[in-house]
């Protein structure tokens, strides 16, 4: 072997060895943190399959689906999940439709009002919604929207809209204007060009807004907890608390099984969107503005 | 202006304004409306039941609040909760995870990222139950401590604010991790490599190069996680209901208790208004940070 190559190898080895060492150290560090994070998750999965589940993480005393069987009743699972679906589906549809419409002029036309409007929207994205729930309750009592699905859907939509408009506008800015101009010369209205050209081109962006809105509403506890009163209308977020929190003895295996059922849709949705956008979720960048 | 040119300006203005109306109407009715109403009833003695008319009582609610031991306790606990769980916990851990992920091998990165993000995506109430189980006397944490022969205790009873703070770290760290991962990915490789060649060690590189370069992301992140943490309700509600004896009662839980369990809507709203004002201040700061960035 010629000496030059050997020399090169000698200088490269310590550096690459250091990289490997660094990588191993980083891997080890990450695994330690992950171990702490995974414990509560492991509890819920293992307990849901355990015939004698208690509060600590342990290997099941045998696998069973009895817990799932016990909670898959109209009272415990189907009605609350259907309510959740109605609330979040309705809210998300309304949010995405309103946000897409609103984002269009903000993204396409220059106007003096755009900047103040967007700043207000951005300001509203970070307001603590929890803080206005008491006045919303008082207001809803006066206008007879309390304990109604539509009232809750409207409030969900309004609370999610600022962020949805902001995200939607940013995604829409990425669609080149030239394509629409061609459509305009062919006599298409701006509504037609929004629906036929812009939205299809920003499919992944619309998907992100939809999934994000849905996930936020699905997991929200405080809004339905305050605005809905009748047990029949309660979404899963609230009913889980009523069923398991207020009863004397808690069957932990069933609680875990219900948690798994209730959480699965949002995890699947998240995975779907994250994969489509290539691993990293665009949210980190979107939030940065 | 001739009628014709005014129709023309109308047909020009219509497509610009019309699409905004559904969103604006919803925002005015269901967001701006309640905020304005909040600002009004905070100055009244509105109660849930047994009162014909509410009357304007000026700053009485606020005066009551600042003389109310339970309110001051809630302010203090909110501060502790925010500092421990958001500023120290989520922020530092999120940055550490993002930095480690830059160096880690791909399968480990995907695995750990997946676990941390799952904790974040889970519904709030489910997260609350999981952490409740973790911190209970018979729970996993005590089982682990026992295994190491360390003293165990009923965490939700002795140190409830610490337990809910850790719960919030568990649930919220993914957000900071995602923000910092995005920020670190934007640092050009040449810069860190140049520093490495100059012999700067890991900590010095972090302190002198990485942190200054991502300082805007740090500002934005701190602002956003503070706002999120200020409005945490469900997690604490499920784990402790604010108890025992108000030892984990942050402002949102205090507000809820005053307004509904004690039927003092006016007083509860005054507390809500204070929370809203603090939130707005942070929000304005956040806007300023973004503006310097653009």
Tell me: the pLDDT tens digits for B213-263? 888 888 888 888 888 898 899 899 988 888 788 888 999 999 898 888 887
Alpha-carbon gap, residue B169 to B69, rounded angstroms = 28
Q: Which of B19, B41, B97 is facing A102, going by the closest CB pair?
A: B19
CA A225 to chain centroid = 19
Whether the Cβ atoms of residue A241 and residue A29 lie closer than 8 Å to each other? no
- Whether the ω angle into residue B244 lies within 30 degrees of 0, i.e. cis, is yes
* Gap between the Cα atoms of A76 and B168, Å rounded: 27
Contact A128 B238 (CB under 8 A): no
Determine the pLDDT at residue B70.
Answer: 84
Render pLDDT for B78-123 as a digit per residue (tens, 0 to 9).
Answer: 999 999 999 899 999 999 999 888 888 888 888 888 899 889 889 9
Same domain, B73 and B214: yes
Specify whether B80 is located in the same domain as B9: no
Q: Does B93 touch chain A (CB under 8 A)?
A: yes
The total of other beta-carbon atoms located within 10 Å of residue A173's CB is: 15
Question: What pLDDT sits at residue A203?
Answer: 83
Q: Does B222 touch chain A (CB under 8 A)?
A: no
pLDDT tens readout for residues B169-199: 999 999 899 888 888 888 887 877 777 777 7
What pLDDT score does A201 carry? 85
Integer angstrom CA distances of residue B75 from B43, B82, B230: 20, 11, 11
DSSP per position, chain A = --HHHHHHHHHHHHHHHHHHHHHHHHHHHHHHHHHHHHHHHHHHHHHHT-TT--SS----SS---HHHHHH-SIIIIIHHHHHHHHHHHHHHHHHHHHHHHHHHHHHHS--TTHHHHHHHHHHHHTS-GGGGHHHHHHHHHHTT-TT-HHHHHHHHHHHHHHHHHHHHHHHHHTS-THHHHHHHHTT--HHHHIIIIIHHHTHHHHHHHHHHHHHHHHH--HHHHHH---GGG--HHHHHIIIIISSSS--HHHHHHHHHHHHHHHHHHHHHHHHHTTSS-THHHHHH-
Number of structural domains chain B divides into: 2
Which one has a higher pLDDT value, B46 or B163? B163
Residue count of chain B: 294
* Inter-chain residue contact B122 with A126, CB threshold 8 Å: no
Residues of chain A in contact with residue B290, where contact means CB-CB under 8 angstroms, are: 122, 289
> pLDDT 10s per residue in chain A (289 long)?
444 444 444 444 566 777 788 788 888 888 888 888 998 898 888 888 888 777 777 777 778 888 888 888 888 888 899 999 999 999 999 999 999 999 988 888 888 888 888 888 888 887 888 888 888 988 898 888 899 999 999 999 999 999 899 889 888 888 888 878 877 787 777 788 888 888 888 888 898 889 889 988 998 999 999 899 888 888 988 888 777 665 556 778 888 888 999 999 999 988 888 776 644 444 544 443 3
Model confidence pLDDT, tens digit, residues B145-160? 888 878 878 888 888 8
Nearest alpha-carbon partner for B248 in B70, B6, B43, B57: B70
Residue with the bigger pLDDT between B283 and A250: it is B283
CA distance linking residue B102 with residue A86, whole number of Å: 41
B51 assigned to some structural domain: no
Radius of gyration of chain A measured on its C-alpha atoms: 25
Q: What is the pLDDT of residue A285?
A: 42
Instruction: Give the confidence band of B1 by pLDDT, cuts at 50, 70, 90.
Output: very low
Task: Name the nearest CA neighbour of A236 among B62, B95, B123, B75.
Answer: B123
Are B262 and B110 in contact, with CB atoms under 8 Å apart? no
Instruction: Kindly determine whether residue A23 and residue B29, on different chains, have CB atoms separated by under 8 Å.
Output: no
Specify whether B79 is located in the same domain as B126: yes
Q: Do B123 and A266 touch (CB under 8 A)?
A: yes
Contacts of B23 in chain A (CB under 8 A): 98-99, 101-102, 161, 165
pLDDT at B202 exceeding the cut of 90: no
Residues B209, B126 contacting (CB under 8 angstroms) = no
Q: Does residue B203 or residue A156 have the better pLDDT?
A: A156
* Alpha-carbon distance A27 to nearest alpha carbon in chain B (angstroms): 5
Which sequence spans correspond to the domains of chain A?
75-288
Which of B35, B126, B136, B285 is the best substitution to test chain A (most A C-beta atoms within 10 A)? B126
CATH code of the domain in which B76 resides? 1.10.3720.10
Are B115 and B244 within one domain?
Answer: yes
Angle subtended at Cα B84 by Cα B78 and Cα B85, rounded to the nearest 5 degrees: 85
Structure token pair of residue A162:
């600022």
Which A residues in the span 58-117 are in contact with B, Cβ-Cβ below 8 Å?
94, 97-99, 101-102, 104-106, 109, 111, 117
Residue B22: its chain A contacts at CB < 8 A? 97-98, 101-102
Q: Single out the residue of A182, A217, A178 nearest to residue A90, CA to CA.
A: A217
Q: Is A229 on the interface with B (CB under 8 A)?
A: no
Dihedral angle of Cα A278, A280, A284, A285, to the nearest 10 degrees: -40
**How many CB atoms within 10 Å of residue A245?**
16
Interface test with A, best of B12, B15, B30, B61 (most A CBs within 10 A): B30
Residue B4 has pLDDT above 60, yes or no: no
> Which residues are bridge partners to A82 per DSSP?
none
A252 shares contact with chain B (CB less than 8 Å): yes
Q: pLDDT value at position B13?
A: 72
- Contact of A136 with chain B, judged by CB distance below 8 Å, is answered with yes
Unique residue bearing structure tokens 């307004």: B259
Does the model's ipTM exceed the 0.90 cut? no
CA distance B2 to chain A (A): 23
Same domain, B28 and B65: no
Closest residue, chain B, to A265 (C-alpha): B122
Contact B179 A288 (CB under 8 A): yes
- Listed by number, the residues of chain B in 55-84 with a beta carbon closer than 8 Å to a beta carbon of chain A are none
Backbone dihedral angles phi then psi of residue A187, each to the nearest 5 degrees: 90, 15
Burial class of residue A63, CB neighbours in 10 A (0-12, 13-18, 19+): exposed
CATH code of domain A75-288: 1.10.3720.10
What does the pLDDT read at residue A107? 87
Residues B114 and B243 occupy one common structural domain = yes
- Asked whether residue B50 is domain-assigned, the answer is no
Q: How far is A183 from chain B (nearest CA, A)?
A: 16
Whether residues B188 and B136 share a domain: the answer is yes
3-state secondary structure labels for all residues of chain B: CCHHHHHHHHHHHHHHHHHHHHHHHHHHHHHHHHHHHHHHHCCECCCCCCCCCCCECCCHHHHHHHHCHHHHHHHHHHHHHHHHHHHHHHHHHHHHHHHHHHHCCHHHHHHHHHHHHHHHHCCHHHHHHHHHHHHCCCCHHHHHHHHCCCCCCCHHHHCHHHHHHHHHHHHHHHHHHHHHHHHHHCCCHHHHHHHHHCCCCHHHHHHHHHHHHCHHHHHHHHHHHHHHHHCCCHHHHHHCCCCCCCCCCCHHHHHHHHHHHCCCHHHHHHHHHHHHHHHHHHHHHHHHHHHHHC
B13 touches A: beta carbon within 8 Å: no
For residues B108 and B237, state if they share a domain: yes
Q: Is A286 on the interface with B (CB under 8 A)?
A: no
pLDDT mean over B40-66:
74
Global pTM value = 0.85
Q: Do residues B17 and B124 both lie within one domain?
A: no
Give the residue-averaged pLDDT of B124-147. 85
Task: State how far residue B246 is from chain A, nearest Cα, in angstroms.
Answer: 19
Q: What are phi and psi of B159, to 5 degrees?
A: -130, 60
Measured CA to CA, the distance from residue A129 to residue A160 in angstroms comes to 10
Note whether residue B46 is domain-resident.
no
- Per the structure, the complete domain to which residue B256 belongs is given by 60-293
| Residues of chain B above pLDDT 70, percent | 91
User: How far apart (Å, rounded) are the C-alpha atoms in residues B273 and A243?
Assistant: 32
Distance separating alpha carbons of residues A96 and A197, to the nearest angstrom: 17
- Predicted local distance difference test score (pLDDT) of residue A204: 83
Check if the beta carbon of residue B140 is closer than 8 Å to that of residue B119. no
């Amino acid at each position: 072997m010629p000496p030059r190559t050997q020399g090169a190898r000698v200088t490269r080895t310590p550096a690459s060895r250091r990289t490997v060492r660094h990588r191993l150290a980083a891997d080890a560090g990450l695994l330690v943190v992950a171990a702490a994070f995974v414990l509560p998750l492991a509890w819920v999965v293992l307990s849901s399959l355990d015939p004698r589940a208690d509060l600590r993480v342990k290997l099941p005393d045998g696998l069973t689906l009895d817990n799932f069987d016990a909670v898959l009743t109209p009272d415990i699972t189907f009605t609350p999940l259907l309510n959740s679906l109605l609330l979040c589906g309705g809210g998300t549809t309304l949010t995405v439709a309103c946000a897409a419409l609103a984002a269009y002029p903000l993204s396409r036309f220059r106007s003096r009002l755009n900047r103040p409007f967007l700043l207000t929207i951005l300001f509203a994205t970070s307001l603590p919604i929890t803080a206005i729930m008491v006045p919303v309750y008082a207001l809803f009592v006066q206008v007879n929207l309390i304990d109604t699905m539509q009232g809750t859907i409207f409030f969900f939509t309004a609370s999610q809209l600022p962020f949805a408009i902001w995200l939607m506008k940013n995604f829409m800015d990425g669609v080149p204007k030239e394509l629409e101009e061609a459509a305009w010369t062919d006599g298409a209205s701006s509504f037609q060009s929004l629906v036929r050209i812009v939205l299809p081109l920003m499919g992944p962006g619309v998907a992100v807004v939809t999934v994000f809105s849905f996930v936020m509403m699905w997991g929200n506890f405080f809004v339905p907890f305050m605005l809905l009163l009748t047990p029949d209308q309660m979404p899963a977020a609230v009913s889980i608390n009523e069923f398991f929190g207020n009863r004397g003895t808690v069957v932990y295996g069933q609680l875990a099984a219900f948690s798994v059922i209730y959480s699965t849709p949002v995890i699947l949705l998240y995975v779907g969107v994250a994969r489509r956008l290539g691993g990293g979720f665009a949210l980190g960048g979107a939030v940065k503005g | 202006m001739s009628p014709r040119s005014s129709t023309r300006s109308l047909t020009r203005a219509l497509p610009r304004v019309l699409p905004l109306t559904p969103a604006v109407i919803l925002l005015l009715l269901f967001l701006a409306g309640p905020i304005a109403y909040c600002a009004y009833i905070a100055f009244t003695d509105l109660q849930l039941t047994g009162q014909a008319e509410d009357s304007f009582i000026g700053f009485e609610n606020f005066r009551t609040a600042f003389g109310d031991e339970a309110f001051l306790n809630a302010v203090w606990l909110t501060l502790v909760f925010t500092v421990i769980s958001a500023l120290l916990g989520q922020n530092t851990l999120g940055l550490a995870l993002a930095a480690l992920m830059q160096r880690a091998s791909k399968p480990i990165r995907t695995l750990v990222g997946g676990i941390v993000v799952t904790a974040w995506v889970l519904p709030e109430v489910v997260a609350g139950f999981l952490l409740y189980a973790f911190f209970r006397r018979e729970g996993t944490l005590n089982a682990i401590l026992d295994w190491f022969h360390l003293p165990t205790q009923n965490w939700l009873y002795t140190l409830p604010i610490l337990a809910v703070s850790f719960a919030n770290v568990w649930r919220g760290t993914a957000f900071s991790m995602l923000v910092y991962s995005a920020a670190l990915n934007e640092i050009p490789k040449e810069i860190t490599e140049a520093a490495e060649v100059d012999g700067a060690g890991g900590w010095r590189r972090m302190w002198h190069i990485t942190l200054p370069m991502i300082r805007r992301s740090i500002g934005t992140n701190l602002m956003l996680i503070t706002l999120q943490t200020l409005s945490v309700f469900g997690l604490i509600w499920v784990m402790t209901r604010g108890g025992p004896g108000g030892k984990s009662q942050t402002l949102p839980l205090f507000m809820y208790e005053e307004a509904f369990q004690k039927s003092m809507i006016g007083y509860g709203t005054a507390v809500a208004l204070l929370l809203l004002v603090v939130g707005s201040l942070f929000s304005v700061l956040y806007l300023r940070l973004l503006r310097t960035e653009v």
